[in-house]
Structure 1
Amino acid sequence: MKGVALAFLGAAALIFVATTLWQSAGAPGWVGYVKAAAEAGMVGALADWFAVTALFRRPLGLPIPHTAIIPTKKDQLGQSLGEFVGANFLSEEVVRERLRKVGVSVKLGGWLAKRENAERVTAELSTAAGALVTVLRDDEVQAVVEQAVVKRVMDAPWGPPLGKVLERVFADGSHHRLVDLLCDQAHDWVRDNHDQILGVVSGRAPTWSPKFVDSMVADKVYNELLSVTANVKDDLNHPMRMALDRFLGEFAHDLQHDDKVMGKAESLKQQVLAHPEVQTVIGSIWATAKRLLLEAADDPHSELRTRVLAGLMSLGERLAGDEALRAKADGWVEGAAAYVVLNYRDEITTLITDTVRRWDGEETARKVELQVGRDLQFIRINGTVVGALAGLVIYSVAQLIG
């Protein structure tokens, strides 16, 4: 494009020389119009060449003021560019409006609803999780687990929280199923262990008691025991059930308010955590968790990846079809973007200014010229053409006035 612009200047110069020589040899009057157009075209071409060149370097190497603007004003341009980006692109209103028009949630929902896309995200998440787990040092993670988890479990009392949980369970009646199961199992055990019960009762009879009396007593005890367990099993309002409910309620209350019961709970906690098997489990928590996580991340058909895949697809379908959820998700995205803009706008614009400041002046001018220089050469071409037309008009007006 430099060659094309130079060709326009050369053409104007040749026409000017030719018409000048022709006029000296007695050319017709219209030649003066051509000469004036060529002369003004040369002036326009030279002026625009100077303007375009002055952006990137000093024309002809002369130290003319206000030339080589990009190399000498690079830092100021970078500062202005950073301020322009911060004011016009990183404002909260602009970011929110742009995100609102984009519709992040609906596009993300439609994309995630497709199985191949959800599988791709699942695979990437699995790879990232596996890489993160692999680079972590086992001894450090185990120490954190023991300090953050085990120590808190050891320091926190078990009685009050356990009592609150049990109190809620008993209040809701959720324990009745367990009681029903225990009653069923107790009745079934009594029914199926006739000989054992007879043997226990007979074994505790006095030595002087006749055997047939022992057998009769044992049968009576067995039948009564079987009857009692059957009644407890079938009657939901049986006194034994009611007594058990009262006992459980009192036990839940004592776990929260009775120092003696709470002390026993703490003692039980210490015994459980001090058990060798429990200590072995605590010492291998991270190793076990790491192995399970790596295996699940590597296996495309693992329960973990299957659930993540299903969750992502379900999320995509809900985002695509649930307007309320989309509005909420868009609000989260806009809020997050606005937070970043408000709190880190200066850091972002500083990145621009610092980057430009590190550039070499001449190298910067060369890069910019390679990007926009081709279009700038049209300024020279237009300057030649517009200058020639302007010169022709001025010469024509001068002739009319004369």
Structure 2
Amino acid sequence: METMSEPSTVPGPSPEVERQRRQALRRHKAFVTALLGVAAAIFLACSWWQTQPGGAPAWVGYVRAAAEAGMVGGLADWFAVTALFRHPLGIPIPHTALIPRKKDQLGTALSGFVGENFLNPQLITEKVAGAQVPEKIGAWLSQEDNAAIVSREVGRFTGKAVRAIDPADAEAIINSQFIARLAEPEWGPHAGRMLQGLIDDGKTEPVVEAIITWTRERVGGAEDTIVSLIDERMPQWAPRFARDLVGERVYREVVAFLEDIDNDPDHEARHGIRRFIAQLADDLQHDPTMIARVESIKDDIMGSRAVRGAGASIWQAVSQALIDAAEDPDSLLRAKVREMCVHWGKRIQSDPELRASLDRRITGAVRFLAENYSGEVTAIISETVHRWDAREASDKIELMVGKDLQFIRLNGTIVGALAGLVIYTVNQILFGA
């Protein structure tokens, strides 16, 4: 775990941007330093000229005074700018290298400044309340193009979220929360109660019809099989034609019997099927033997390879379906998101009560966050600055603002020269040469 005493790398721009900034900073430093050198050269040249036999013209004094003052002003501002980031000329003069030495205090001060002026609960709540956020959200969402943007981003987020889920974790959840829970209760009583409910609601008649229809279809296509089966059961001494006649007669009787059942809604066979279903519902609920038999079937099903691998198969199918729907602009999911955005955008615009409710919720949430978490947010600033390496932080800050600070040196040189010229001129006017 990183401690406060362990310096961390100061975040910064990309290497290419940093290279460009360093080049710009060097150019500005070189230009301002060259200007200071020009002032020094002019001062020395004027001083030399004035010491020559016969002296120098009067205007040389004005130039010399301007160059001297410009040189002093440039040097003073060079010292001030340099003292922010390092010791001038490497000399540890008091109150220099301010940023490296005062880094932690600056971080604390910046943290307090942000907390007092930007994350103040009253101030930020007033700003949010006056920003008419619900109206802007409604106007933005009601536009089809913006709804498409939301739909696209929701799809992108959904696809990434689904891909980020570990299939093994998803399979474990499906197995533990769905498949395992499916095997926990006894199936017999539940199935019996469901069947009893269908009987009470009169919903089992389709089952009766399905049984009769299925039986007729099977018997209708099994004439040869039935006749052959009866023929095999007849005594071997019986004549061949007698066996064929018996088989055909039995088959016709069976077909006629099934036709009677099919045509007579009140046929006794139908009542028999209904009694069988009712008895099955009762046995599933109360007969220990039937319940045990169903449990045995359940154990076989739940222990089968198909069920054991169902979690992986289910997740693979569901996840792929979600990803396809999320990434397809024409999918039902994306279309519904677009429709909801437009619908809610128009509703927010047309419903004053909804806008007022949203405004209260937004401002309430902002106030809650500002009152309870502004300290944590501002603490990030101070803690981050505290972890920075002092020299690296100073270098990064100079890289960000150093180019602009060079204009202070430039202005110091120019303003100093003008001030020196004015002072020298006033002195000449008042006291003469």
TM-score, normalization: structure 1?
Answer: 0.63
Q: Does 2:55 correspond to 1:26?
A: yes
Question: 2-side partners of 1:197 and 1:148: how far apart?
Answer: 43
Question: Is the CA contact (8 Å cut-off) linking 1:297 and 1:304 kept in structure 2?
Answer: no
Q: 1:2 aligns to what? A: 29
Q: Does 2:49 correspond to 1:17?
A: no
1:371-392 C-alpha deviation (Å, 9 max, x unpaired): 1111111111111111122222
* CA-CA distance at 1:122 after TM superposition: 3.8
Q: Does 2:159 correspond to 1:127?
A: yes
Question: Is the CA contact (8 Å cut-off) linking 1:118 and 1:313 kept in structure 2?
Answer: no
Q: 2:393 aligns to what? A: 364
Q: 1:298 aligns to what? A: 324
* CA-CA distance at 1:336 after TM superposition: 2.1
Q: Which of 335, 338, 345 is equivalent to 2:367? A: 338
Greater CA deviation, 50-59 or 334-343? 334-343
Counterpart residue type for residue 312 of structure 1: C
Counterpart residue type for residue 45 of structure 2: A
Distance 1:106 1:384, change over 3 A: same
Distance 1:150 1:63, change over 3 A: same
Question: Is the CA contact (8 Å cut-off) linking 1:105 and 1:330 kept in structure 2?
Answer: yes
Distance 1:276 1:120, change over 3 A: farther
Question: 2-side partners of 1:294 and 1:399: how far apart?
Answer: 91
Q: 2:73 aligns to what? A: 44
Q: 1:257 aligns to what? A: none
1:5-40 C-alpha deviation (Å, 9 max, x unpaired): 122212221221222122224123333222222211
Greater CA deviation, 308-317 or 384-393? 308-317
**Aligned pairs for 1:2-401 within 5 A:** 2-24=29-51, 25-113=54-142, 114=144, 115-131=147-163, 135=167, 137-138=169-170, 140-142=172-174, 145=177, 196=264, 291-292=317-318, 294-299=320-325, 300=328, 303-401=332-430
Distance 1:276 1:344, change over 3 A: farther
Question: Is the CA contact (8 Å cut-off) linking 1:71 and 1:364 kept in structure 2?
Answer: yes
Counterpart residue type for residue 48 of structure 2: L
| Structure 1: tracts of 5 or more residues without a match | 159-177, 182-192, 204-265
* CA-CA distance at 1:49 after TM superposition: 0.7
Question: 2-side partners of 1:44 and 1:66: how far apart?
Answer: 19
Question: Is the CA contact (8 Å cut-off) linking 1:109 and 1:317 kept in structure 2?
Answer: yes
1:67-99 C-alpha deviation (Å, 9 max, x unpaired): 111111111111111111111111123322333
Greater CA deviation, 341-350 or 304-313? 304-313
Question: Is the CA contact (8 Å cut-off) linking 1:96 and 1:334 kept in structure 2?
Answer: yes
1:334-353 C-alpha deviation (Å, 9 max, x unpaired): 32232222222222112112
* CA-CA distance at 1:51 after TM superposition: 0.4
* CA-CA distance at 1:120 after TM superposition: 0.8
1:109-142 C-alpha deviation (Å, 9 max, x unpaired): 3443324224313413431452365557245424
Question: Is the CA contact (8 Å cut-off) linking 2:138 and 2:347 kept in structure 1?
Answer: yes
Question: Is the CA contact (8 Å cut-off) linking 1:112 and 1:316 kept in structure 2?
Answer: yes
* CA-CA distance at 1:43 after TM superposition: 0.9
Question: 1-side partners of 2:185 and 2:343: how far apart?
Answer: 36
* CA-CA distance at 1:293 after TM superposition: 6.1
1:256-290 C-alpha deviation (Å, 9 max, x unpaired): xxxxxxxxxx99xxx8x97967996x997997588
Identical-residue share of aligned pairs (%): 41
TM-score, normalization: structure 2?
Answer: 0.59
| Structure 2: tracts of 5 or more residues without a match | 1-27, 191-200, 204-260, 272-284
Greater CA deviation, 16-25 or 57-66? 16-25
Question: 2-side partners of 1:288 and 1:307: how far apart?
Answer: 24
Question: 1-side partners of 2:101 and 2:373: how far apart?
Answer: 29
Question: 1-side partners of 2:185 and 2:345: how far apart?
Answer: 38
Question: 2-side partners of 1:141 and 1:88: how far apart?
Answer: 47
Question: 2-side partners of 1:329 and 1:387: how far apart?
Answer: 59
Counterpart residue type for residue 128 of structure 2: L
Question: Is the CA contact (8 Å cut-off) linking 1:52 and 1:376 kept in structure 2?
Answer: yes
Question: 1-side partners of 2:175 and 2:262: how far apart?
Answer: 55
Counterpart residue type for residue 130 of structure 1: V
Question: 2-side partners of 1:313 and 1:275: how far apart?
Answer: 54
Q: 2:19 aligns to what? A: none
Counterpart residue type for residue 298 of structure 1: D
